[in-house]
Amino acid sequence: MLNLFPYDAKFDFFGKRYYAYGLSLILLIASIVSLSTKGINMGLDFTGGVVIEVGYTKAANLDAIRDVLKKNAFPEAVVQYFGSSESVMIRLPPAKTGNQNQLADHVLGVLKTEDAGVTMRRVEYVGPAVGKELFNSGGLAMLVVLSGLLIFVSLRYQLKMATGAVLTLSHDLIMVFGFISITGIEFNLTVLAAYLALAGYSINDMIVVFDRMRENFRKIRKGTEIEIMNISVNQTMSRTVMTALTTFLSVLALYVFGGETLHGFSLTLLVGIILGTFSSIYVASSLSLDLGLKRSDLLKMTDKEKLVDTAP
Amino acid sequence: MNRYPWWKNLLIILVLLFALFYALPNIYGENPALQISKRNAVMDQAAVDRAVAALKAVHIAVKSARVEDKDGLIQFDSTDAQLRAVNIVREALGDEYPVALNLAPAAPRWMLDLGAKPMYLGLDLRGGVHFLMQIDMQSAIKTALERRVDGMRGDLRHANIRYISADVDNDNEIALRFPDTAARDAANKSMAGNYPELVFANEEHNGQPYLTAKFTDAGAMAERKAAVDQNITTLRNRVNELGVAEPLIQQQGDDRIVVELPGIQDTVRAKEIIGATATLEFRLVSGTPTDWIDAQQSGRTPPDSRLYHEKNGQPVLLKRQVIVTGDRITGASSGFDQRSGSPAVFVNLDGQGARRMADITGQNIGKQMGVVFIEHRTETKMVNDKPVKEKKVIEQVINVATIQDQLANRFQITGLDSPNEARDLALLLRAGALRAPMDIVEERTVGPSLGAQNIQAGVNASILGFALVAAFMLVYYRVFGVTAVAALGVNLILIVAVLSLLQATLTLPGIAGMVLTLGIAVDANVLINERIREELRNGLTPQTAIKAGYERAFATIIDSHVTTLLAAVVLFALGAGPVKGFAVTLMIGISASLFTAIMVTRALVNLIYGHRTRLTKISI
């Protein structure tokens, strides 16, 4: 039998939780410092503007492209490679005046004077008003998901656990944003989607642990809260590691093959999976313990749960 | 003993067959095709035959050609053949038959008849243009008021009421200034009934009497709605002109229109045509049919006339002097002539247009009037491999009718063949020009090569993701890994089947959702298998451990799936465009995994181990 985590382990997760808090704190501070100094590289979806991806038949000369754009009334253009040296991304801020929707065509015209072989691969133009709306609906989606999860966990489990879960999600949120800030990943709708999927994944992880804690609190009559929680985490550790691994592997495939468009998305997920696994054990459970979670909180059984529990 | 009742096994087999059937068209793929429609009519087989004959003449192989629903469909083996064919077919059939590039499912006919189609690929996978257009409502309202001011000036002159000025001010209010209150009161009395959509008010500014008018809430709303509806109609006509298969044009919010044009390669041209201006002119007919044919043959026309052509190519001579142009049209609708009961189109003109129409038709009762459709188009053509812009004016006589009465601001055009033709003419009149100006506020264009590249990226990522997860599960759980991987395969087929059946749009983030589902879906099996291992360690016999493992993991699986599902549902409800695609596949995948990870694996485990009464060891 192959297993990643010894089944008879009696690792003292919660006795060492203060180290974990320390690590969390350091990461949180690093995230907040980066967020407040460097900020987030907001993507086109939220800021508005124009992104043009063009393809060249040979490796493109970025300096020449910058030069020709500067000479032709696009001094503010950001020019960079996109995935390969034959593919170039040009980003322009939303124009204050003028005919915005012709911008991309003008840019392509200008680029053609430098290299006639250039082809248009992708154009994205988002007006400033639309950007603001997408930003708002993105924020709303985040709020709705987080509060929905809070309600679900407090209904199914216990308020202290739900509070722990939401604090964990906020903790993850700040760290994911910190990561996005430090690495300079462009934060767009797809990355937001990755974060929301992570929130679901992270809660999923917590629930498995919570579920086992509830079961053990009812089954094991002796032992302190810390002991029982340690037993529960040790018991579910194999599953936690295993699921984290399979999810990580599938996202890794996206990172390797998904192309430049999904780069930020999959990178956010990869980091988020590690973070979520760590925080579901250390932050969520530890916090609910320190919030004063007692055996008695979990002993109230509904009729339905009694039925499930008496099943052989 | 672990056995499923026969109906559960049957259910699993049925679901599997169903999924396989609806996923199958994706294996066949799609053939490049040309979609040919006939303007204002159902496509005829003869035209398809003509197109095929023209293609045969230049040795382009045709895979199949038939009339399907209302359109003709010619399929090819390669995109290359399709692209070469499109111009040949356009030339062979002429302007009356719009030709669009399309992809036709290559699956057998009987499958398509049962609703089994390949997945609908989003713009980021097949290439195309997405526009979000914002209608300038302020100027729509202003234009509507200006049209009414024109009418009011005429009304006042007709009623011999003196006024000093009549304008639309910046607050979108009509302000009529009068020399004295008596004139104002007379004006108020004579006009109030004519404009039910306006509220009139008496005002004094600097001692001067004013009559102001603005839209009622209902009036303004009707005007805004008309602006959206008419712009959509105009856009739809334009897009048909463009030759786009399966375009999407729909209202979004109060004042926006989404236009999605899959497979468009030349976005510059798309923008030109969407922004094109089309208009109408009304002119008196000159001479008799024999004069027209003479004029066409000799090339000589009377000095006051010009030679035009009707829809069917017949020549018509019209006076050079224009009675009224299309920008004087405020509305058009179809119906029936009250006297004869024949189909008719009712046209509304504004004040100035109505007066000219009344003057000229009053003097020409019994004579004929022609309606000319004019469109200014800029087309980009390839000349020696270089794009050359070509301005083109299309002028076509869409209707010639006898003037039976003096016409005013509202009149009818009869002599139409059918109610359908009347409806289409009304639509054409309305769609002749955009009612309100529009700005593109969002554009997402993906070139066809990038689309193909995205598909390849998605396929590669899916294969690698599946392989990694499968290898890991097989090594780790052995026989129980085999069941989990089989379930994962079924899950993937189910996602593809449901996406194909719903014809939900598959985007690149959608594929990402599918790959992510692979990783998350096995979680249920991990939970079950770990539980079985645990129960075995606790000393249960293999059969009871299997049973207990599945039963005890169940509640946890449900809980953990619900949370991911919750996030996906919110994303779907609040997300835009590509994010919606991600949410859709995630939702389908997570739901399907409840079935596959629990029921399918259990059925397989039962099949492998369930019947052995003295089972001492299982491979997990």
d(CA A53, CA A90): 6
Give the pLDDT band of residue A187 (cuts 50, 70, 90).
Answer: very high
Tokens of residue B361, six digits: 């038709």
- Identify the pLDDT of residue B602: 93
CA count, 13 A, side-chain hemisphere, B228? 16
Subunit contact B574:A269, Cβ cutoff 8 A: no
Residue with tokens 């270089």: B386
Chain B nearest-CA distance from A187, in A, is 13
Q: Do B450 and A53 touch (CB under 8 A)?
A: yes
Angle between helices B181-191 and B137-158 (to 10 degrees): 110
Assess contact for B251 and B230: CB atoms under 8 A.
no
Looking at the predicted structure, is the pLDDT value of residue A255 above 50?
yes
**Residue that wins the pLDDT comparison between A101 and B1:** B1
Please give, rounded to a whole number of angstroms, the shortest distance from the CA of B513 to a CA of chain A: 9
- Classify B111 in phi/psi space as left (phi over 0), alpha (psi -120 to 50) or beta: alpha
Q: What value, to the nearest 5°, has the Cα angle with vertex A101 and ends A95 and A106? A: 85
Q: What is the DSSP letter of A280?
A: I
Could you report the per-residue pLDDT of A1-40, keeping only the tens digit for each? 677 778 778 888 888 888 989 999 999 999 999 999 999 9
CA count, 13 A, side-chain hemisphere, B201? 12
Burial B599-611 (b: 16+ CB within 10 A, else e): bbbbbbbbebbbe
| Strand B128-135, strand B256-262: pairing | antiparallel
Which residues of chain A have a CB within 8 Å of the CB of B556?
207-208, 211
What's the rounded Cα separation, in Å, for the pair A30 and A45? Answer: 26
Tens of pLDDT, residue by residue over B571-618, are 888 877 678 889 999 999 999 999 999 999 999 999 999 888 888 888
User: What pLDDT shows up at residue B96?
Assistant: 66
Q: What is the mean pLDDT of residues A276-295?
A: 85
What residue in B sits closest to A120 (Cα-Cα)?
A: B447
Radius of gyration of chain B (CA): 34
A264: closest chain B residue by CA = B509
Q: Is A125 on the interface with B (CB under 8 A)?
A: yes
CA-atom Rg of chain A in angstroms: 25
Nearest CA in chain A to B473: A246
CB burial readout A13-33, b (16+ within 10 A) else e:
bbeebeebeeebeebeeebee
For residue A143, the distance in angstroms to the closest alpha carbon of chain B comes to: 10
- Can you read off the two tokens belonging to residue B307? 């030679």
Closest alpha carbon within chain B to A310: B552
Query: What number of residues does chain B have?
Result: 620
Q: Which of A242, A251, A266 to mutate to test the interface with B (most CBs of B within 10 A)?
A: A242
Nearest to B465 by CA among B564, B579, B556, B589: B589
Looking at B108-243, list the stretches that DSSP marks H as alpha helix, in order from N- to C-terminal side: 109-113, 123-126, 137-158, 181-191, 217-242
d(CA B385, CA B399): 39
Handedness of CA A208, B524, B6, B15 (dihedral sign): positive
Task: Give the N- to C-terminal CA distance of chain A in Å, as an integer.
Answer: 25
Do B526 and A243 contact (CB within 8 A), yes or no? yes
* Burial (CB count <10 Å: 0-12, 13-18, 19+), residue B178: buried
CB atoms inside a 10 Å sphere around CB B529 = 28
- Out of B515, B520, B562, closest to residue A253 by CB: B515
SS (H, E, C) B366-423: CCEEEEEEEEEEEEEEEECCEEEEEEEEEEEEEEEEECCCCCCCEEEECCCCCHHHHH
Q: How close is the nearest chain B Cα to the Cα of A16, in Å?
A: 26
Closest Cα in chain B to A151: B563
Please report the number of interchain residue pairs, chain A to chain B, with beta-carbon separation below 8 angstroms: 239
B576, A137 contact by CB (below 8 A): yes
Phi (first) and psi of residue A43, to 5 degrees:
-80, 175
CA distances to A49, A230, B293, B296, B308 from B313, in Å? 48, 88, 11, 11, 9
Contact A55 B268 (CB under 8 A): no
Q: Do B461 and A192 touch (CB under 8 A)?
A: no
pLDDT tens for each residue of B159-207: 888 888 888 887 888 999 999 888 998 888 888 778 888 999 898 888 8
Q: Give φ, ψ of B248 to 5 degrees.
A: -120, 120
Q: Is the dihedral of CA A288, A292, A295, A298 positive or negative?
A: negative
Q: Do A239 and B460 touch (CB under 8 A)?
A: no
Q: Do B570 and A145 touch (CB under 8 A)?
A: yes
Amino acid sitting at position A110: V
A254 at B interface, C-beta within 8 A: yes
Q: Cα–Cα distance between B324 and B317 in angstroms, integer?
A: 17
Q: Do B564 and A235 touch (CB under 8 A)?
A: no
User: Is there a contact between A265 and B512 (Cβ–Cβ < 8 Å)?
Assistant: yes
- Amino acid at position B598, single letter: I
Q: Are B414 and B347 in contact (CB under 8 A)?
A: no
Chain B residues touching A266 at Cβ < 8 A: 512
ipTM over 0.95: no
Distance from the Cα of residue A143 to its chain's centroid: 15
Query: A122 and B447 in contact by Cβ < 8 A?
Result: yes
CA A197 distance to own-chain centroid: 7
What does each C-alpha distance from B556 to A176, B486, B524, B560, B594 come to in angstroms? 27, 22, 9, 6, 12
Q: How many angstroms away from the CA of B301 is the closest CA of chain A? A: 43
| CA–CA dist B491, A58 (Å, integer) | 42
**pLDDT at site B11:** 93
Task: Please provide the DSSP assignment of A187-198 as one string.
Answer: B-HHHHHHHHHH
A7 with B534: Cβ contact below 8 A:
yes
Residue in B with minimal Cα distance to A87: B450
Residues in chain B where the model's pLDDT stays below 70: 1, 39-40, 95-96, 241-243, 265-269, 272-280, 327, 374-393, 414-417, 420-421, 423-433, 577
Strands B120-121 and B505-506: parallel
| Residue B138 backbone dihedrals phi, psi, to 5 degrees | -55, -45
CA A14 distance to own-chain centroid: 26
Cα(A270)–Cα(A259) distance, integer angstroms: 15
The answer to whether the CB of B431 falls within 8 A of the CB of B233 is yes
Q: How many CB atoms lie within 10 A of CB A94?
A: 18
Distance CA B213, CA B454 (A): 56
Distance (Å, whole) CA B114 – CA B24: 12
Cα end-to-end span (Å), chain B:
18
At which residue do the structure tokens 């500014």 appear?
A: B205
Torsion of CA B479, A243, B493, B501, to 10 degrees: 150
H or E element in which residue A10 lies: none
Residues of A in contact with B450 (CB under 8 A): 53, 55, 121-122
- Chain A hits for B564, CB-CB cut-off 8 Å, are 197, 200-201, 204
Residue B161 tokens read as: 């009421």
Residue B449 is nearest to which of A121, A129, A236, comparing CB atoms?
A121
Identify all chain B residues contacting A269, using CB atoms and an 8 Å cutoff.
Answer: 516
Question: What is the pTM for the complete model shown?
Answer: 0.77
Across the interface, whether the CB atoms of A197 and B578 are under 8 A apart is answered: no
Quick one: pLDDT at residue A310? 40
Q: In chain B, what residues touch A124 (CB-CB under 8 Å)?
A: 443-445
Answer yes or no: do B526 and A239 touch at CB < 8 A. Answer: yes
- Furthest CA-CA distance within chain B: 111
* A127/B contact by beta carbon, under 8 A: yes
Inter-chain CB proximity A261 and B124 less than 8 Å: yes
Nearest CA in chain A to B577: A189
CB B398 within 8 A of CB B311: yes
d(CA B78, CA B85): 11
Residues 6+ apart with CB under 8 A from A18: none
Residue range A223-241: mean pLDDT, rounded = 89
